Amino acid sequence: MRVLIADDHDLLRDTLDLWFRQEKIDVTPARDLPSAMLAVAGAEAFDLILLDYGMPGMNGLDGLKRALADGKGARVALMSGIAPRDVAEQALEMGAAGFLPKTLPAKSLVNAVRFMAMGEQYAPIDFMTATPEVTPVNPLAEKLSPREVQVLKGLCEGKANKEIARDLGIQEPTVKLHMKTLYRKIGAHNRTQAAMIAKEAGLF
Amino acid sequence: MRVLIADDHDLLRDTLDLWFRQEKIDVTPARDLPSAMLAVAGAEAFDLILLDYGMPGMNGLDGLKRALADGKGARVALMSGIAPRDVAEQALEMGAAGFLPKTLPAKSLVNAVRFMAMGEQYAPIDFMTATPEVTPVNPLAEKLSPREVQVLKGLCEGKANKEIARDLGIQEPTVKLHMKTLYRKIGAHNRTQAAMIAKEAGLF
DNA sequence: TGGCCCCCTATCCGATCGGATAGGGGGTCT
DNA sequence: AGACCCCCTATCCGATCGGATAGGGGGCCA
A-chain residue closest to B120, CA distance: A108
Q: pTM (2 decimals)?
A: 0.53
**Contact by Cβ (8 Å): B33, B51:** yes
User: Is residue A141 classed as helix, strand or coil in its secondary structure?
Assistant: helix
So what's the pLDDT on residue B133?
A: 45
* Helix, strand, coil content of chain B in percent (nearest 5): 50, 15, 35
Locate the DSSP E strands across B8-52. Answer: 26-30, 48-52
So what's the pLDDT on residue B168?
A: 86
How far apart CA A34 and CA A40 sit, in angstroms, is 10
How far apart CA B131 and CA B129 sit, in angstroms, is 6
Q: How confident is the model at residue B38 (pLDDT cuts 50, 70, 90)?
A: very high
Q: How confident is the model at residue A107 (pLDDT cuts 50, 70, 90)?
A: confident
Query: Which CB contacts under 8 angstroms, 24+ apart, belong to B24-31?
Result: B25/B1, B25/B110, B25/B113, B26/B1, B26/B2, B27/B3, B28/B2, B28/B3, B28/B4, B29/B4, B29/B5, B30/B4, B30/B5, B30/B6, B31/B6, B31/B7, B31/B55, B31/B56
**What average pLDDT does the structure give for chain A?**
85
Nearest DNA or RNA nucleotide to A172 (CA to C1'): D9
What residues of chain B, 120 to 159, have a C-beta less than 8 Å from chain A?
Answer: 120-125, 128-129, 131, 155-158
A137 has pLDDT over 50? no
- The single-letter DSSP state of residue A4 is E
A131 has pLDDT over 60? no
A169 has pLDDT over 90? no
| pLDDT tens per residue, range B176-197 | 998 888 888 888 889 998 999 8
How far apart CA B112 and CA B99 sit, in angstroms, is 9
Taking CA atoms, A40 is separated from A50, A58, A66, B196, in Å, by 12, 15, 12, 50
| Angle formed by the axes of helices B172-186 and B161-168, nearest 10° | 110
Q: How confident is the model at residue A136 (pLDDT cuts 50, 70, 90)?
A: very low
Which residues of A are less than 8 Å from B92 in CB distance? 125, 129
Locate the DSSP E strands across B41-200. Answer: 48-52, 75-80, 98-101
Give the distance, in angstroms, between residue A179 CA and nucleotide C26 C1'. Answer: 22
Which residues of B are less than 8 Å from A122 in CB distance? 125
**pLDDT > 70: percent of chain B:** 93
How far apart CA A50 and CA A29 sit, in angstroms, is 10
Q: Does any CB of chain A come closer than 8 Å to the CB of residue B92?
A: yes
So what's the pLDDT on residue A38?
A: 92
| pLDDT tens per residue, range B48-68 | 999 999 888 899 899 999 999
| pLDDT tens per residue, range B123-176 | 887 777 765 543 334 556 677 888 888 889 889 999 999 988 888 888 888 889
B42 has pLDDT over 60? yes
So what's the pLDDT on residue A98?
A: 92
For residue A161, which of A185, A191, A189 has the smallest C-alpha distance? A191
Q: How confident is the model at residue A130 (pLDDT cuts 50, 70, 90)?
A: low
